[in-house]
Chains A and B, each alone.
Chain A
Amino acid sequence: MIEPEFQKLLGSSDPDPGCDDSGELMDEYCELVLRGEELPHRYTAFLTHITNCTACREDTESLLAVLREQEKTSRG
């Protein structure tokens, strides 16, 4: 089993589509997460990418935070 710190250093060896292709899925992914839906198989590589890439992970987390905020505002 890969050690956690080495995982961070070397990333996952699973298929990783890179920043550009993952960016295309970021908005869909965030809406699925927000709706609590099960993620289709095609998001596996996206998830690998945001594990491997700090910037894309932070951007995805930011978009999720924005959507949660918008949802709260529209409810409140």
Chain B
Amino acid sequence: MSSIVCAARIGAVSKRLSHDMNTATLDRESAEWLCDLQGNGGAREQAIARLHALLLRVARGVASRRRETLPDRAIEDVDDLCVQAVNDAVMAVLAKLDTYRGAARFTTWACKFAIVETSSRLRRHAWRQRKVELDDTIWDRLPDAAAPILQRLENDQLIVALHRAIDDHLTERQRLIFQSVAMDDVPIDVLAERLETSRGAIYKTLHDARANLRRALIEAGHGERVS
């Protein structure tokens, strides 16, 4: 694409976004990314390659920061996992280009896709060989094997009331999700994969379960501790 045509398109992209958002003009670098990625031919291919390289650096940075959360056996697969995550993130960015409103710089917006995709894969990878199941023994384990949250709670009366509220006021799916995520620290992405649903859907169930439990604990006379 000639530089004159591209400059005109950058102006048009910037103007469209300013109009859509009713905010200040889009920064030039973001407008250039959009122009290149929405164009045709070589310029678009080059922009996709640049985007892939940028997001791969981001994904590797995320993996490096999360390294200590990964078991040793999982470390060697991490780079492949980053590449797969970035392939998917680039596809998502291209598919959602029309939804970019310029509220943040284009690269920040795009990095978000790489981070969510990479972190989610790393969490699932770390849990690959661990079971997730509704474990009723969670309440009966000896202190050193207790769920981390129960080790820190010191109010026995409240723990008993919580146990009762979980049994009486949650559906089986809510119990599984609440106990796994809130009590046993199972990552929400792991549960989403195992239950074949999305992070958002798991979170919604967790949110509803927490609301039910808060209500039940207030009714049981523990309002001052939970609200």
Contact = CB atoms under 8 A, between A and B. Distances in A.
Contact of A62 (B65, B188, B200, B227): B65
Contacts of B103: 27-28
A26 B116 CA distance: 11
A66 B226 contact: no
A24 B100 CA distance: 10
Contact of A19 (B65, B183, B200, B210): B200
Given A27-B104, A27-B112, A5 B199 contact: no
Contacts of B107: 70
Nearest to A55: B188
Contacts of A5: 149, 152-153
A66 B216 CA distance: 42
Contacts, number: 100
B25 interface: no
Given A20-B200, A28-B103, A67-B108, A55 B119 contact: yes
A63 B188 contact: no
Given A19-B200, A55-B189, A63-B112, A6 B105 contact: no
A58 B111 contact: no
Contacts of B123: 55
B62 interface: yes
A53 B203 CA distance: 8
Contacts of A20: 200
Contact of B226 (A2, A19, A67): A2
A25 to B, nearest CB: 8
A27 to B, nearest CB: 4
B112 A6 contact: no
A55 to B, nearest CB: 5
Given A53-B188, A55-B188, A66-B58, A6 B158 contact: yes
Interface in B87-133: 103-105, 107-109, 111-112, 115-116, 119-120, 123
Q: Identify the 7 closest CB pairs spanning chains A and B, nearest first.
A: A27-B104, A19-B200, A28-B103, A20-B200, A27-B108, A55-B188, A62-B115
A55 B227 contact: no
Contacts of B217: 10
B30 to A, nearest CB: 11
